[in-house]
Amino acid sequence: MGRLCQYYALDVITDIGFGSSFEDLKVGSDNFGYLHTLETTLAQVALSSATGLSRLLQYNWFASRILPTGNESEGMGKIVQIARKTIRDRFAIAKGEPQDMVSSFRKRGLSEEEIVTESLLTFVAGSDTVSSSLRAIMLCLAQHDKVAEMLRAEIARVVSGDEVISDTDAQQLPWLEAVIKESLRLYPPITDVIPKTAPAHGHTVEVEGTAYYIPGGTNIGYSAWSLHRRKDIFGIDSESFKPERWLLQGNDEAQLRRRNKVFDLMFGSGRHQCLGKQIAMMELRKAVVEVRSIAIR
């Protein structure tokens, strides 16, 4: 099930990005070796970031020896090669181009190489995070049979047989939304500190009615994992899986707004908020509904 979640997330983001998916779900395997590459590469990225080696990438002499060129037969270089070919073919289309991210980038004047870079970024940001989130939801449902039964019952009231639910209808399922939020609260896809640097002139922020001045150039950050476990926000049982904490019934409206605000910080905030947030939530809602007939263990 975990691997299928990865195939699903990658197929969706490549379809959105390229107009055609990698078809991992169809063939039942890591079709182009992207997932294997990502799993090995992310470990290297984490190590280089923690040790400060990643700063050397700003120097061309170092980057040219480390980063993939697109001529490699495997690894990330192979993925770059696939991206370049796909985008080159798309540039050759005179009319009838699919409505996807590549066409949007083209209309805004980006070059082929710029589109390759943007596409690769969406793959990394939009596949691993979604698959991690989906696996977290499946884990929580597998561990809580009663919650899963209530979810299936809610879905059955609006979806019959093999009917495919629309996202508009899926958003109207409060228990589904609560299960997703509670799963991601306990197991956010990004557990590292989300960093920011205060602007040179400094900045004043208001926290729960109190103003704080942050001097210019100050490095700040927050951890979604820690915030999501604050007992003053989520209750003394914040370590427990309880989707009902997201329902208006039985909860103070002001407290619920506060919880949602803290939950959203997982996606960043302001102009730095994740651009794919709505797509990611749509993917999660659709996937959970479609596996309703499976007894997750």
Identify the CA nearest to 227 among candidates 179, 198, 192, 196. Answer: 192
Residue 238, φ and ψ in degrees, nearest 5: -60, -15
274 belongs to an annotated ligand binding site: yes
Closest by Cα among 129, 172, 153, 156 to 275: 129
d(CA 286, CA 180): 11
Between CA 215 and CA 13 the distance in angstroms is 39
Tokens standing for 14? 């490549």
Contacts of 287 (CB under 8 A, 6+ apart): 5, 8, 134
Which single residue is written with the structure tokens 């210019």?
216
- Three-state DSSP class for 252? coil
Please tell me the distance from the alpha carbon of residue 23 to that of residue 139, in angstroms, as a whole number. Answer: 25
**Count of CB atoms situated within 10 Å of the CB of 203:** 15
For tokens 């996937």, the residue is: 287
Length of the chain: 297
Q: What is the DSSP letter of 266?
A: G
Tracing tokens 């169809």 back to the chain, one arrives at: 26
Annotated binding site for heme: 274
Q: Annotated binding site: which residue ranges?
A: 274
